[in-house]
Structure 1
Amino acid sequence: MPASSEQRLLAALQAHAHAPENVDRLVEICNALIHVRRNEQMLPWADKGLALEPTHCGLLYARAHALRLLGRHAEAAASWRAHRSLAWPPLYCETRLGRDLYLSGEIASAIELLSEAVRTAGDSEERDAQKARKWLAEALLATGDPAGFTHWLARNRGDSGSYRYAEAPMWNGQRDLRGERVLVTHQMGYGDQFLLYASLRHWLDAGATVMFTCDPPIHGLLQASWPDCTVVPTERPLAVATTLPPEALAAARAFAPTLQATLLHLPLLTQHDSTPPTPFFPAYLRAPEDARARAATWAQALRARRPGKRLAGLFWDCAQHRVASNGSKERCWAGLRSVPLAQIERLTLDPALAREVEFVSLHHPAAEMQSGTPRGAISHYGPGIATFADTAACLEQLDAVISVDAALANLGAMSGKPTAVLANPTGEWRWGHAATSGARSPWMTGVTVLRQTEMGDWRDVISQATGWLLAPGPGA
């Protein structure tokens, strides 16, 4: 963090000490905390300011923003509701209230409010209009409604970087793709790519010849999984309509596409089918042959050392929350999705589980050095985890997977393994919503969602995971 940013925060704190009743000094502290990427620490300062000036819009925003980062979505929603009558910019309050209603579980109210915000926005490209579309999309998708993918596509104009290959027109919704050569460009994170690239099957079945791009760390896995496609590794786009990097651009020109689509377009091909695909995202991932051979040899030896035991992969910590340079949203949300080591050891040290299950860490060694290693019945993948191809090869030899809400959960599901996802009360849309889909995902099979009832309390989730592993289903 630049010294000047910390100095700005120090100066703001010193100014407040000299004038504790000055609201402007408290606003300066909140702004300085945003500048040093410690937004979640704004809450006490916003509360102090609001005690002095209860309708200060800047401090109301700071308070609600900090509450959301801390996972206190119901309180954030209540704050927006209580102050809707203030002079907010158009859609500003509605979008944030709708988002926090969705994240707090009031999904029907969120969809109603965000739908009205989207209707009001029309074709507006303003930031809050884009936010309204994004959160309406995710609320709809959480209920299993594929109409959400239409709204999600608006992220191509907003908060998701994307590539634009100017030499081919963008796909306009046509269903008959016979004779078409389609370039699909990637975006978003590993988990999104693992999930949405499952829709490539529908594009191939519609007659398309496909080339697609992906992040380099998952290239080997995706090429092995889609041998009939050309797969090009390239950096992830960070801005809207970015030009392809030189090597990827040369590969695209050699492929000579007649159409381009982005990752976000892929689910739209079957969105309006009278009978939607079941599951919407079928399992498809397959590790490269050399990695599979190494994994099979390793698994055979481990099973010989642990006769009669089932092998269960275990992923418990999202490393992003340990990186100080990450933004507050990335750090805080990763922290809310991670399970403390002491809770994980309730699985690995459980005597009943130890008689039946050998856990296998699915963490990259460098990440596990940061998160710590649980004691008890846990092994490590002998060939080593260096790439996602290695992880997928290991997964193929396991009987079940337990993962927090991370790319590993998507990898397990899209590899066709029985997968238990340990999720906080908000979770991600792909795991559904407790009120509409219970412990199942509306989008994929073989997934059991074990949800917290209270943010931060993993005790009941770990108890459910123990029962899931001891039940006759998972990997039996």
Structure 2
Amino acid sequence: MTTAPKQVTYEDGLRLVQTLVGDGRLPMAVRWVDRLCRHRPDDARAHNQAGLVRQRQGRPDDAVLHFRRATLLQPDAAELWVNLGNALRHVAAFDEALLSRLRGVLCRPDAADMRLSYALGLLAAGDYRRGFAEYEYRENRSKGLAPYAEAGWPLWDGRIRPGGRLLLATEQGAGDAVQFVRFVRPLAERGMEVVIACPPELQRLLRSARGVAAVIDPTPSGSPAAFDGVDMLLSLPARLGLEEEVLGLAGRYIEPPEPAFRVPAGEGLRVGLCWTGNIATPLNAMRRIVFKELARLLDTPGAVFYGLQVAAGSGASAGEPRLLDLSPHIEDFADTTAMIDQMDLVITVDTSVAHMAGALGKPVWTLLARVADWRWGYDGETCLWYPSMRLFRQTRSGEWRDVVERLGTELRRQVESRRSAG
């Protein structure tokens, strides 16, 4: 006797779509979610799921249509407005995206994830005062401070006391730490002793930053009484109330160690290349460029190329005679700065190398996806955070060809300018 197959209910179907997306089986997820939308066209959950699946497929235009339908059906659901805002951002409808995120906050003003989404929209729009205030709702802040609170460490009250001692903990990626360590110097100039708690691979680099008195491991240890308080490094803009016009005035604010390898001088324009960030970072797939595409620059006469890529990405250039791989001479981020400092120009994707080059005041060309991270703004070639940086943005999502063509044109101009000046 055969058993009749179990009938899949509508609720089962919603759960199944989530499972299929989690397993990376997107085509099947699309088929199921479309069936759900046809079955119950007036259920916001089905359209929300359909939008999320399209977003994962890299089809933000289609995602926007589903999220719009979902918000019409359930206008008081904060997460739907945030999802719509994210999709609108990916179709470069930035103003509308910010309004959608604000609707999410109005629906649930006590929800940290809603406030963070709105914060990122404000920061991308260049509204740093309101953006950094909202950024304090980020989960990384509460998680980062939790171990210190459990160990009895007091939270910094924001008061700047000459002779006071402050511990600042890093969070997120290395690039974030490099970008925000500039805000330590104003504290030191006003008499505070600032210690940074960070992972070992960042310690030599951050120890060199202006105003940093010392670095320690991130695990709370010792007596809390040794410090007036603890806070997160990325909270300094909100604490200090800095205006955006001072962000780019830091100049060169980190110093590299003596390099383990000296790059030969006088052989041409020395250009350092970096084509991928941490491959474990979800956003890296959008930010990275395939080495073979970037390698089209290697035939530029008068330029000599060096690989600044480390870890898994460095193998992509193996056997390329036109590029000298510097990764064997790099053990930590401080070593990377020592190599960057010997370059005449750095060309890199959006990763820590871009931040280190900018913090050194080195000329750096940063390749950006069509929809870039908040810190690079919506458009334009200049960067408020790093005056020595020039931004090269995709004109179409996922396509780097025209970016590399623009890079090649500008690189040849740089070589020619160097020849004329020499």
Under TM normalisation by the shorter chain, which class is it?
A: 0.7 to 0.9
Match of 2:288 among 338, 349, 371: 338
Aligned mates of 1:42, 1:469 — CA distance in 2:
45
Question: Structure 1 residues 49, 249: CA separation in 2 closer, same or farther (over 3 Å shift)?
Answer: same
Residue 373 of structure 1, CA deviation: 4.0
1:76 has 2:22 as partner: no
Residue 472 of structure 1, CA deviation: 3.3
Partner of 1:12: none
TM-score by length of 2: 0.86
Residue 315 of structure 1, CA deviation: 0.9
Aligned mates of 1:416, 1:452 — CA distance in 2:
24
Residue 61 of structure 1, CA deviation: 2.8
Question: Structure 1 residues 432, 474: CA separation in 2 closer, same or farther (over 3 Å shift)?
Answer: farther
* C-alpha contact 1:42 1:62 (8 A) present in aligned 2: no
Residue 25 of structure 1, CA deviation: 6.1
Instruction: Give the alignment of 1:223-372 within 5 angstroms.
Output: 223-226=207-210, 228-234=212-218, 245=219, 248-250=220-222, 253=223, 256-273=226-243, 276-279=245-248, 282-288=251-257, 292-295=258-261, 298-300=262-264, 303=265, 307=267, 309-320=268-279, 330-331=281-282, 333-348=283-298, 350=299, 353=300, 355-369=301-315, 371-372=316-317
Question: Structure 1 residues 440, 218: CA separation in 2 closer, same or farther (over 3 Å shift)?
Answer: same
Aligned mates of 2:252, 2:374 — CA distance in 1:
18
- Measured against aligned partners, the alpha-carbon deviations of 1:208-263 in whole angstroms (never above 9, x if no partner) come to 111111122111111233575110133xxxxxxxxxx3xx412xx28711122212
Is 187-196 or 67-76 further displaced after alignment?
67-76
Instruction: Give the alignment of 1:89-128 within 5 angstroms.
Output: 90-122=77-109, 124=110
Aligned mates of 2:231, 2:363 — CA distance in 1:
31
Q: Which amino acid aligns with 1:105?
A: A
Residue 452 of structure 1, CA deviation: 0.9
Q: Over aligned residue pairs, what C-alpha RMSD do you find? A: 3.1
1:151 has 2:134 as partner: yes
Match of 2:123 among 123, 135, 141: 141
Larger relative contact order (CA 8 Å, sep ≥ 6): 1
Residue 62 of structure 1, CA deviation: 2.9
Match of 1:216 among 188, 200, 220: 200
Partner of 1:165: 148
Residue 163 of structure 1, CA deviation: 4.4
Question: Structure 1 residues 205, 104: CA separation in 2 closer, same or farther (over 3 Å shift)?
Answer: farther
Residue 107 of structure 1, CA deviation: 1.8
Aligned mates of 1:70, 1:410 — CA distance in 2:
30
Aligned mates of 1:223, 1:474 — CA distance in 2:
38
Q: Which amino acid aligns with 2:182?
A: A
Instruction: Give the alignment of 1:315-464 within 5 angstroms.
Output: 315-320=274-279, 330-331=281-282, 333-348=283-298, 350=299, 353=300, 355-369=301-315, 371-373=316-318, 375=320, 377-381=322-326, 384-434=329-379, 438-464=380-406
Q: Which amino acid aligns with 2:287?
A: R
Question: Structure 1 residues 383, 80: CA separation in 2 closer, same or farther (over 3 Å shift)?
Answer: closer
Aligned mates of 2:7, 2:355 — CA distance in 1:
49
Residue 400 of structure 1, CA deviation: 1.0
Aligned mates of 2:416, 2:78 — CA distance in 1:
46
Q: Which amino acid aligns with 1:388?
A: F
- Measured against aligned partners, the alpha-carbon deviations of 1:287-327 in whole angstroms (never above 9, x if no partner) come to 22xxx2434xx213xx36xx2x111111112342xx6xxxx
* Unaligned runs of at least 5 residues, structure 2: none
Q: Which amino acid aligns with 1:287?
A: P
Aligned residues: 411
Residue 459 of structure 1, CA deviation: 0.8
* C-alpha contact 1:143 1:442 (8 A) present in aligned 2: no
Aligned mates of 2:319, 2:180 — CA distance in 1:
33
Q: Which amino acid aligns with 1:257?
A: F
TM-score by length of 1: 0.77
Percent identity reads: 23
Q: Which amino acid aligns with 1:165?
A: Y
Aligned mates of 2:322, 2:351 — CA distance in 1:
23
Residue 131 of structure 1, CA deviation: 2.3
Q: What SS does the corresponding residue of 1:132 show, helix, strand or coil?
A: helix
Q: Which amino acid aligns with 1:409?
A: A
Aligned mates of 1:112, 1:88 — CA distance in 2:
14
Q: Which amino acid aligns with 2:125?
A: T
Q: Which amino acid aligns with 1:452?
A: Q
Aligned mates of 1:347, 1:55 — CA distance in 2:
52
Aligned mates of 1:269, 1:158 — CA distance in 2:
13
Aligned mates of 1:233, 1:160 — CA distance in 2:
16
Q: Which amino acid aligns with 2:132?
A: F
Q: What SS does the corresponding residue of 1:83 show, helix, strand or coil?
A: helix
* C-alpha contact 2:369 2:398 (8 A) present in aligned 1: yes
Residue 37 of structure 1, CA deviation: 6.2
Question: Structure 1 residues 95, 105: CA separation in 2 closer, same or farther (over 3 Å shift)?
Answer: same
* C-alpha contact 2:48 2:80 (8 A) present in aligned 1: no
Residue 90 of structure 1, CA deviation: 3.1
Residue 413 of structure 1, CA deviation: 1.4
Q: What SS does the corresponding residue of 1:422 show, helix, strand or coil?
A: strand
* C-alpha contact 2:181 2:209 (8 A) present in aligned 1: no
Q: What SS does the corresponding residue of 1:173 show, helix, strand or coil?
A: coil
Question: Structure 1 residues 287, 312: CA separation in 2 closer, same or farther (over 3 Å shift)?
Answer: same
* Unaligned runs of at least 5 residues, structure 1: 1-17, 235-244, 324-329
* C-alpha contact 1:19 1:25 (8 A) present in aligned 2: no
